[in-house]
């Protein structure tokens, strides 16, 4: 009942919640307030409570949380960035390379232990592989033997375990051996067996195990005991101490346990060092001091080599701008200035784009075993990927091979053909079909037609016509027609405004207002600014809508279709067909694999090459399948129950219809600053 005694109005299957925060989110805000923190830094519904916790702890510890207060970072990634700040380690470059979560943890710990992880790190490595490399570095092993992404983490572990026991791991470092096969060879080496009889690709792990056990049975062990007669008085004295070799063999520590009757002499220490093969950099004064002063339960540095100094990393010097603003400047009302954005940079044929400066060699060192530590050369950067350029014979100078548009996106340098049209495009101009991008300095009028494999940029307006782009479409001033404007893009579509336009895009659709248009996108519809308005027509957007105003006081019907809509279903079908195709290709490769194993060429090198090529093809196809599954999962995640389907930052007016995952709701009255989302098969409204 209301306070005036009237019953509550039946609003169908919608409900109003007091807060969009879940209980745990609300608790994090309260904790921050109680601790006197600036909770505005994380009072954002896009953060889940675990992310909020990481930001709150960072604020409490007085670190710059702006470095990681980004909803796109998982809480685990946030945690690793926060912990890295404490130890003054910068993870930014690793984030840029795509490392996240547990991968960042392994990198951070390695950096904190001053291990040269960068020497072995490649972008395709995952957390378990990094753990094996880090562990090997910590134990002073020669990780170059297995620090390669061609080995999975289980193979790396087997090689590392062999190195720890000083085995001849070359018997099983062939990446074509499975980790089961590697294990059986390693166990054989540990038992002192001649593994050459079974360390062959043709034998499965089970075959190898059986052969190893048979070899063990054949082996006879002779037990001897020296000094059966007489007494060795040393057996009555306790000599409990440990020797640790750390920092890639550069430092040696001794630790004498405090145990009653534990008597350790200098000779005992020297004997242990000799047994371990430690001959260089021995600190005799430190050993004498440790023994004479009985410094127990204390880790003492007793030998130290000279660490190798890694050389300077390779780097690129660019002669074109990489810092063009990808995001338009904001206007005073919160809208976006699409008119004055500098969308691209033109380059000329033969223009120098970049020069690579190779990595430099470092200074060699020496470990405590007297071995030279080869100075790690600085890390070389990979060749720039992309298209539209050539590399000079010097191998380091990049030259544009055409007049065109320059872009540097996700580490790729792309120069694409760009046609500059210095007049309006109309029916008289005829069809403009371009392999590349198109930049129209004027406008597009009735009958105008542009098809481009790249971007389409219109400096003025589009009144009518058809634009088809393999990239993005930007109409700086906007589009106004009588449903005679048709835009299709594989990327984003943006402009100051769209009136009576028909737009289909795979990316987001952005404007300062959209009126009476038919919008279809796999991304979001974003309408910016305090005067921003999404009014009339239909917006079908898989990832949702973010607008200032929705509808108007005249109650013009505005229809929003969000989440698992017809576009979502179409995309799922496309994914399913692609997955089926990949599985068929995998099946064919596996059948080919089985046939080849039945009739391997007699030449060992030729046989290994054949197996290697086929294995590489199977692995590549597996990666393709994993990437596709990740895309499917990502698409499913954005349409979860708790997705913020529609965000209205100003007013939402009566007459607006919102459909989320096929559940419809018609807004009965005006509301402001509201979020519409799906909960328990009902559309609910949450205060923004």
Quick: pLDDT tens for 24-76. 778 888 888 888 888 888 888 778 888 888 898 889 888 888 888 888 888 88
Around 352, how many Cα atoms within 13 Å sit in the side-chain half-sphere? 10
Mean pLDDT, rounded, for 163-179: 86
One domain for residues 321 and 182: no
Which residue in 181, 233, 256 sits closest to 212, CA to CA?
A: 181
Domain boundary among the residues 409, 433, 458 is at 409
One domain for residues 342 and 240: no
Q: Give a yes or no: residue 573 inside a domain.
A: yes
* 475 or 622, which is more confident: 475
Question: What percentage of the chain carries pLDDT values higher than 70?
Answer: 89
Question: What percentage of the chain carries pLDDT values higher than 90?
Answer: 25
CA distance linking residue 656 with residue 666, whole number of Å:
6
One domain for residues 368 and 283: no
Determine the longest span between alpha carbons in the chain, in angstroms: 114
Q: Give a yes or no: residue 542 inside a domain.
A: no
Q: What is the pLDDT of residue 540?
A: 92
CA distance linking residue 159 with residue 154, whole number of Å:
9
Q: Give a yes or no: residue 77 inside a domain.
A: yes
One domain for residues 69 and 123: yes
pLDDT at 356 over 90: yes
Q: What is the pLDDT of residue 16?
A: 35
Q: What is the pLDDT of residue 492?
A: 93
Instruction: Find tokens 């983490």 and name the residue.
Output: 153
* 228 or 394, which is more confident: 394
One domain for residues 67 and 193: yes
pLDDT at 654 over 70: yes
pLDDT at 603 over 60: yes
CB 60 within 8 A of CB 39: no
One domain for residues 65 and 207: yes
One domain for residues 322 and 298: no
Around 660, how many Cα atoms within 13 Å sit in the side-chain half-sphere? 29
Q: Give a yes or no: residue 428 inside a domain.
A: no
pLDDT band at 354 (very low <50, low <70, confident <90, very high): very high
Exposed (0-12), middle (13-18) or buried (19+): which is 332, by Cβ within 10 Å?
exposed
Q: Give a yes or no: residue 416 inside a domain.
A: no
pLDDT band at 472 (very low <50, low <70, confident <90, very high): very high
Q: Which domain holds residue 620?
A: 568-637
pLDDT band at 232 (very low <50, low <70, confident <90, very high): very low
Q: What is the pLDDT of residue 525?
A: 94
Q: How far is CA 209 from CA 158, 192, 606, in A?
A: 15, 15, 27
* 568 or 331, which is more confident: 568
Minimum mean pLDDT range among 148-162, 201-215, 583-597: 583-597
CA distance linking residue 447 with residue 313, whole number of Å:
55
pLDDT at 678 over 70: yes
Mean pLDDT, rounded, for 308-333: 77
Minimum mean pLDDT range among 265-279, 364-378, 657-671: 364-378
pLDDT at 333 over 70: no
Q: Give a yes or no: residue 284 inside a domain.
A: yes
Cβ atoms within 10 A of the Cβ of 327, count?
7
One domain for residues 400 and 322: yes
One domain for residues 162 and 101: yes
Which residue in 243, 242, 247 sits closest to 366, CA to CA?
A: 247
* 187 or 18, which is more confident: 187
* 328 or 530, which is more confident: 530
Minimum mean pLDDT range among 2-16, 171-185, 522-536, 540-554: 2-16
One domain for residues 101 and 243: no
The secondary structure of 435-501 as a DSSP string is SSEEEESS-B-TT-EEEESS-EEESSEE-SEEEEESS-EEESSEEEEEEEEEEEESS-EEESEEEEE
Question: Sign of dihedral through CA atoms 322, 323, 327, 328?
Answer: negative
Minimum mean pLDDT range among 44-48, 369-373, 390-394, 674-678: 44-48
pLDDT one-digit tens code per residue, 74-129: 888 889 998 988 888 888 888 888 888 888 999 999 898 888 888 888 888 888 88
CA distance linking residue 417 with residue 215, whole number of Å:
67
User: DSSP secondary-structure letter at 497?
Assistant: E
Q: What is the pLDDT of residue 559?
A: 93
- Residue 191, both tokens: 């038992």
Which residue in 54, 49, 45 sits closest to 19, CA to CA?
A: 45
Minimum mean pLDDT range among 302-306, 350-354, 412-416: 412-416
* 635 or 11, which is more confident: 635
pLDDT at 4 over 50: no
* Alpha helices (H) along 599-685: 604-637
* 257 or 493, which is more confident: 493
CB 388 within 8 A of CB 447: no
pLDDT at 6 over 50: no
pLDDT one-digit tens code per residue, 362-371: 888 899 988 8
One domain for residues 192 and 281: no
Q: What is the pLDDT of residue 662?
A: 84
Q: How would you list the strands of the sheet with 299-304, edge to edge?
A: 241-246, 251-256, 299-304
Which residue in 475, 480, 513, 517 sits closest to 495, CA to CA?
A: 475
pLDDT at 687 over 70: yes
Q: What is the pLDDT of residue 279?
A: 92
Q: What does R_g of the chain's alpha carbons equal in angstroms?
A: 33
DSSP-derived 3-state class of residue 27: helix
Q: Give a yes or no: residue 450 inside a domain.
A: no
Mean pLDDT, rounded, for 413-423: 87
Mean pLDDT, rounded, for 490-497: 92
pLDDT band at 14 (very low <50, low <70, confident <90, very high): very low
* Summary mean pLDDT of the chain: 83
Q: What is the pLDDT of residue 238?
A: 65
Instruction: Find tokens 């550069």 and name the residue.
Output: 250
The number of domains in the chain is: 4
DSSP-derived 3-state class of residue 356: strand
Q: Give a yes or no: residue 345 inside a domain.
A: yes
Domain boundary among the residues 617, 637, 657 is at 637
Which residue in 181, 192, 233 sits closest to 216, CA to CA?
A: 192
Domain boundary among the residues 598, 614, 637 is at 637
CB 211 within 8 A of CB 203: yes
* 299 or 591, which is more confident: 299
- How far the first Cα of the chain sits from its last, in Å, is 25
One domain for residues 273 and 364: no
CA distance linking residue 308 with residue 376, whole number of Å:
7
CA distance linking residue 627 with residue 650, whole number of Å:
39
pLDDT at 409 over 60: yes
pLDDT at 622 over 60: yes
């Amino acid at each position: 009942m209301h306070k005036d005694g009237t019953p509550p109005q039946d609003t169908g299957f919608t409900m109003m919640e007091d807060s969009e925060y879940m209980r745990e989110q609300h608790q994090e805000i309260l904790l921050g307030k109680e601790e006197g923190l600036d909770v505005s830094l994380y009072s954002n519904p896009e953060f889940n409570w675990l992310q909020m916790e990481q930001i709150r702890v960072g604020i409490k510890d007085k670190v710059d949380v702006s470095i990681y207060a980004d909803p796109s970072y998982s809480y685990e990634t946030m945690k690793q960035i926060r912990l890295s700040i404490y130890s003054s380690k910068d993870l930014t470059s690793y984030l840029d390379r795509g490392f996240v979560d547990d991968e960042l943890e392994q990198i951070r710990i390695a950096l904190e232990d001053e291990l040269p992880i960068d020497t072995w790190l490649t972008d395709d490595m995952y957390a378990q592989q990094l753990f094996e490399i880090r562990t090997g570095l910590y134990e002073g092993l020669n990780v170059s033997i297995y620090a390669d992404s061609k080995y999975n983490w289980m193979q790396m572990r087997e090689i590392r375990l062999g190195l720890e026991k000083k085995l001849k791991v070359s018997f099983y470092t062939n990446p074509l051996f499975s980790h089961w096969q590697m294990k059986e060879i390693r166990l054989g080496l540990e038992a002192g067996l001649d593994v050459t009889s079974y360390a062959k690709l043709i034998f499965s792990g089970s075959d190898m195990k059986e052969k190893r056990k048979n070899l063990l049975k054949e082996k006879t062990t002779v037990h001897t005991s020296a000094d059966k007669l007489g007494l060795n008085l040393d057996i009555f004295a306790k000599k409990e101490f440990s020797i640790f070799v750390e920092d890639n063999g550069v430092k040696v520590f001794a630790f004498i346990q405090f145990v009653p009757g534990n008597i350790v002499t200098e000779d005992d220490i020297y004997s242990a060092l000799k047994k371990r093969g430690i001959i260089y950099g021995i600190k005799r004064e430190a050993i004498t001091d440790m023994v004479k002063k009985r410094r127990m339960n204390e880790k003492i540095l007793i030998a130290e080599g000279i660490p190798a100094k890694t050389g300077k990393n390779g780097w690129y010097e660019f002669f074109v701008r990489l810092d063009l603003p990808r995001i338009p400047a904001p206007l005073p009302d919160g809208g976006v200035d699409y008119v004055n954005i500098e969308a691209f940079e033109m380059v000329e044929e033969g223009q120098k784009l970049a020069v690579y400066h190779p990595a430099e060699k470092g200074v060699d060192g020496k470990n405590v075993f007297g071995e030279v530590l080869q100075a790690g050369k600085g890390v070389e950067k990979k060749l720039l990927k992309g298209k539209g350029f050539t590399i000079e014979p010097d191998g380091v100078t990049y030259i544009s091979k055409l007049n065109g548009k320059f872009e540097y996106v996700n580490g790729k340098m792309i120069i694409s053909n760009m046609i500059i049209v210095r007049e309006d495009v109309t029916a008289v101009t005829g069809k403009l079909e371009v392999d590349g991008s198109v930049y129209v300095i004027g406008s597009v009028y009735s009958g105008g037609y542009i098809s481009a494999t790249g971007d389409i940029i219109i400096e003025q307006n589009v009144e009518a016509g058809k634009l088809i782009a393999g990239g993005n479409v930007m109409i700086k001033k906007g589009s106004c027609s009588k449903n005679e404007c048709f835009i299709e893009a594989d990327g984003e579509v943006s402009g100051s405004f769209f009136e009576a336009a028909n737009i289909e895009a795979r990316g987001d659709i952005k404007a300062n207002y959209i009126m009476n248009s038919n919008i279809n996108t796999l991304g979001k519809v974003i309408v910016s600014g305090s005067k921003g308005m999404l009014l009339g027509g239909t917006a079908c957007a898989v990832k949702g809508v973010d607008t200032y105003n929705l509808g108007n006081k005249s109650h013009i019907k505005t229809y929003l279709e969000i989440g698992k809509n017809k576009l979502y279903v179409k995309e799922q079908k496309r994914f399913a067909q692609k997955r089926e195709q990949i599985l068929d290709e995998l099946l064919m490769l596996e059948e080919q694999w089985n046939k080849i194993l039945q009739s391997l060429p007699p030449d060992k090198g030729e046989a290994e090459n054949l197996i290697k090529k086929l294995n590489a093809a199977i692995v590549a196809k597996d990666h393709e399948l994993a990437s596709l599954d990740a895309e499917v999962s990502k698409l499913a995640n954005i349409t979860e129950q708790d997705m913020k389907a529609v965000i209205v930052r100003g007013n939402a007016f009566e007459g607006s219809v919102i459909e989320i995952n096929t559940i419809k709701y018609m807004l009965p009255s005006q509301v402001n600053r509201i979020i519409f989302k799906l909960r328990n098969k009902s559309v609910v409204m949450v205060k923004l």
